[in-house]
A and B are shown apart, each in its own frame.
Chain A
């Protein structure tokens, strides 16, 4: 199965890179961008064929390595 993990800084954690992107967009003339948050997407190719088992496995990966839950939240998509 294929899985996709979206990792974002939690709300309330300053994202200076997102802020820099927002500034750059303003410089380019894109007005009205109230906020930018930058995260990462991790794609996984899994041997597991059971959807629920795959999702459980990826969630465990997120808790142990893929996200730092002190500062980041994550969302898992399995397809």
Chain B
């Protein structure tokens, strides 16, 4: 199973994400933002956290226009899998691969702590390893994680079972406690919490492992 981790100027979770994917069994290649094409045969594109392009204009806005993001959008269009974490989630909303947007946290503060999450659906390769309703704990670290979607979009997300994770105790003002959402075909996931920071018993817990193992497991069989 082949994964590509995108690297933008200002990405800072790219190497952690690569380690988590490799530990789960993936063959990982790092891809620089100026590359206009993804490595051949990539199954999963992972867009990491950080502060791509210094969060200039809006978080993720400049990254979303980079050459590699056009390739990521094309990959998703072909039914490819994409995982965006934290700034990666912001990038995916800016490319419109995922609906809604991430606003400044309602409490205005940068929130950096481990939070409780509920796995809201098991109907995706990303969440199948947990089971619906499972309670897990993952770190968050963001200033702009306040998920917003208009009423119509929110109703569609709920109706189509596309909310992947919700916060047990909302840290940022997100509508409907949303921490992660899926695309229509359920192959693109964006989430603010960091599973890659909880994928090693020595570092921050292991609740993130099931996500990477499930993704790699499913694609290794394919």
| Interface, chain A (partner B; CB < 8 A) | 9, 13-14, 16-17, 20, 64-66, 68, 70-71
B94 contacts A by Cβ under 8 Å: yes
In the complex, 26 of the A-B residue pairs with CB atoms within 8 angstroms, ordered by the A residue number, are: A13-B103, A13-B148, A14-B103, A14-B106, A14-B148, A14-B173, A16-B104, A16-B105, A16-B106, A16-B107, A16-B146, A17-B108, A20-B108, A64-B65, A65-B61, A65-B65, A68-B58, A68-B61, A68-B94, A68-B101, A70-B99, A70-B100, A70-B149, A70-B150, A71-B103, A71-B148
Q: Chain A: which residue is nearest B94 at the CB level?
A: A68
| Interface, chain B (partner A; CB < 8 A) | 57-58, 61, 65, 93-94, 99-101, 103-108, 146, 148-150, 173
Of A13, A65, A66, A68, the most chain B CB neighbours within 10 A belong to A68
**Bound-state Cα–Cα, A66 to B57, Å:** 7
Besides the known contacts A64-B65, A70-B149, 14 further A-B residue pairs in the complex with CB atoms under 8 A apart: A13-B103, A13-B148, A14-B106, A14-B173, A16-B104, A16-B106, A16-B146, A17-B104, A65-B57, A68-B61, A68-B101, A70-B99, A70-B148, A71-B101
CB < 8 Å neighbour of B101 from A16, A20, A66, A70: A70
The 8 A-B residue pairs with the shortest CB-CB distance in the complex, in nearest-first order: A71-B101, A70-B101, A16-B108, A16-B106, A16-B104, A68-B101, A20-B108, A68-B58
**Bound-state Cα–Cα, A14 to B105, Å:** 10
Q: Chain A: which residue is nearest B104 at the CB level?
A: A16
| Chain A contacts for B148, CB-based, 8 A | 13-14, 70-71
- Inter-chain CB contacts under 8 Å: number: 38
Give chain A nearest CB distance to B78 CB in angstroms: 23
Q: Chain B: which residue is nearest A9 at the CB level?
A: B103
| Chain A contacts for B99, CB-based, 8 A | 70
| Chain B contacts for A9, CB-based, 8 A | 103
| Chain B contacts for A14, CB-based, 8 A | 103, 106, 146, 148, 173
With contacts A68-B101, A70-B93, A70-B101 taken as known, whether A16 is within 8 angstroms of B173 at the C-beta atoms is yes
| Chain B contacts for A65, CB-based, 8 A | 57, 61, 65
| Chain B contacts for A68, CB-based, 8 A | 58, 61, 94, 101
